[in-house]
Structure 1
Amino acid sequence: MAASAVLLALVTGCTTSSDPGQGEGPPATNAGTSGGGGTQKPAPDLKLEQARGKKLLIKEMDGKVGTGLPVFTPPHASYTVHFVCSGTGNMSLEVAGKKWISHPCDGVENAAERITEKEPQAVVVKLSGAASWKVAVADGPL
């Protein structure tokens, strides 16, 4: 694999807990804030059902302003960011200072997979408009 990361961004919409493998396992817990802007109180009505039962590299975080997530090193060749936002505008994710994916703040849960080297990853949440967001990072593919 080349030194620069190979990107694979797949965006998925909501799934129901009746889908196989979805909604199983213990609910993810809130993470502390090390990126200024994340909080430990859950954002209202925002759920990350697709992240349930997965090994989380970053537990659920939420906020109302953009922030950098804690830096992490994936143990495998990929990780998946589960995210949702509600309000006006868009939520964007950046990695290494480059825009990776953007999605409208429509309350629909999404997930994006990133294939990368096993090196530290710095994901940043950015918002345009007034919105609440929730995000979790899981090990491995979607």
Structure 2
Amino acid sequence: MTYRNGLRQGDGPGMLRVRRPIHAAALGRSAMRYDATVIDPTVPPSGTGCVECDEVGGWWLHLRRCASCGHIGCCDNSPAQHATAHAAVTGHPVIRSFEPGEDWFWDYRTDSFMHGPPLAPPLHHPLDQPVPGPRGRVPADWRSRLNP
């Protein structure tokens, strides 16, 4: 079964039902090489949670990091989809997972995974931060509020 952009649920930046983390090495040759003009490996992440969700008291499923400026936004399965909104507003086309154990990059221009360089630490949210998160703001019916 396919969903938006022809991806199976569990593929792409949302990754709602991935059984194990995706590592860049597993992407193989099918992943594009990275575009150094849109990735700044020296910029640290903007924080430990979705910037916009934190501002309004929202919550997220998974976190994504802008590879250009370090902005942390929530994934496409999250109610607010701030990572994709950030890419659309800023023109920053590449994100990296900000989840522990994941090191994949996603290029919105090609709707595909890509390889990327090591980024400035930290590479993921704190290990004690729950998924979904953050602690204390996730509604009991969170599964029914996710985007497909």
What TM-score, normalized by structure 1, do the two folds share? 0.27
Larger relative helix fraction: 2
Per chain length, whose mean CA-contact separation is higher, i.e. which structure has more relative contact order (CA < 8 Å, sep 6+)? 1
Larger relative strand fraction: 1
